[in-house]
Amino acid sequence: MRASRIRVFPEWGTSWPLWSDQIEGADPSDLNLSPDLEDDLRTWVKVWADNFDMDASSPSDYWPSASLGRGWIADGSGLVSRLRAELPDVAFEAVFFESGPDA
pLDDT digits (tens, 9 = 90+) for 89-100: 999 999 876 544
SS (H, E, C) 71-87: HHHHHHHHHHHHHHHHC
Look at the chain and count its residues.
103
Q: How high is the pLDDT of residue 100?
A: 44
**pTM of the predicted protein model:** 0.86
Q: How high is the pLDDT of residue 22?
A: 72
pLDDT digits (tens, 9 = 90+) for 34-89: 999 999 999 999 999 999 998 888 888 899 998 999 999 999 999 999 999 999 99
R_g of the chain computed on alpha carbons: 14
Report CA-CA distances (Å) from 2 to 28, 83, 93.
Answer: 11, 14, 16
